[in-house]
């Protein structure tokens, strides 16, 4: 009986693309989890700043700038990707005074795109978002 020559090489050549796709898919999943954790942390830190400092510099709230600084790996734009609102205690409308009793809400959004070509074209960009709401504790005069 002759030994099958090249059979293992052929099988490996057929399975290699599938194995690489799975491997790179895992990398993309890890990147997506990192991005979601980053925007969650950014929203939390931005809200922590918003409850003690409601000031605005050059049209951008200080809280939005701090949130963007917390997610430096994602390259967030404080003016476009982060919204800071001050709501009434029932969260139904905007709080006119930005004083004690109002709720600071920080929303951070990010568009995640997979780097694996096949996966990226199959699922497309994914919108990730995180919201944190905390009551205002201190107001600046």
Q: Are 50 and 61 in contact (CB under 8 A)?
A: yes
- Phi and psi at residue 51, in whole multiples of 5°? -80, -10
| pLDDT for 3 beyond 90 | no
pTM of the predicted model as reported, rounded to 2 decimal places: 0.84
- Phi and psi at residue 132, in whole multiples of 5°? -130, 135
Mean pLDDT of 1-6: 69
Mean pLDDT of 57-82: 94
Mean pLDDT of 22-51: 95
């Amino acid at each position: 009986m002759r030994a099958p020559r090249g059979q293992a090489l052929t099988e490996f050549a057929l399975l290699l693309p599938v194995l690489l796709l799975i491997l790179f898919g895992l990398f993309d999943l890890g990147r997506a989890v990192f991005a979601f954790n980053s925007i969650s942390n950014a929203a939390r830190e931005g809200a922590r700043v918003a409850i003690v400092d409601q000031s605005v510099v050059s049209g951008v709230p200080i809280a939005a700038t701090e949130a963007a600084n917390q997610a430096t790996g994602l390259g967030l734009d404080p003016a476009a990707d982060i919204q800071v609102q001050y709501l009434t205690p029932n969260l139904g409308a905007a709080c006119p005074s930005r004083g004690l009793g109002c709720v600071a809400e920080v929303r951070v959004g990010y568009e995640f795109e997979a780097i694996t070509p096949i996966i990226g074209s199959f699922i497309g960009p994914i919108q990730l978002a995180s919201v944190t709401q905390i009551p205002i504790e201190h107001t600046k005069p």
